[in-house]
Chain A
């Protein structure tokens, strides 16, 4: 079973910041938070990952609470192309082993 809880769906206005929450209250000390998204009819796309510090890349920012029990993915200026299902995944940092996907959050960016 997935170790994360996400809202089923969210809406965001185009050009505004999209803030996607994720709860992972049972996260272990050596587990990272990964975010992927899946645009309709495509495979999942890696967005960002972090351990305890906030992270930023060209796609998004990841804010992890101090107790690491929750995190927020921020898309600073959402566009229509950001409409997708966003998955929050907790796992040991590795490029081996499985990803356990939950249901994810369907983000709808509206004009």
Chain B
């Protein structure tokens, strides 16, 4: 049973560029959340998608946007990249009506130079 799949695994971008990260949820899951994890810190919640709608958002600027597709996969877009956007970006999936924990992917390591 495939877990959460994220692509790419590593990415290097230049300041000011735009980036798109992708996530395929665990089979059967319908909810996708995105987290940013800076080096040495715990993950920080960016937003969550359910039924192709952004359901909840953390304290991140509008440069961070997302999308969920009918097959439940999701994209995270970041515009006008800053050096401070360098981090591990984690995707987590879950089933909305089940009382168990999230399943996380291994993340995309984004480096902004």
- Interface positions of A (Cβ within 8 A of B): 2, 34, 36, 41-47, 49, 87, 93-104
Give complex CA distance A100, B106 in Å.
18
- Interface positions of B (Cβ within 8 A of A): 4, 31, 33, 35, 41-45, 48, 50, 55-56, 58, 90-92, 94-107
A47 — which chain B residues lie within 8 A by C-beta? 101
Q: CB < 8 Å: which of A36, A49, A96 contacts B94?
A: A96
A96 and B50 form a contact (CB under 8 A): yes
A101 — which chain B residues lie within 8 A by C-beta? 42-44
A46 and B103 form a contact (CB under 8 A): yes
Q: CB < 8 Å: which of B42, B96, B99, B100 contacts A102?
A: B42
Q: CB < 8 Å: which of B96, B100, B106 contacts A43?
A: B106
A43 and B95 form a contact (CB under 8 A): no
Give complex CA distance A99, B37 in Å.
13
Give complex CA distance A93, B105 in Å.
21
B95 and A42 form a contact (CB under 8 A): no
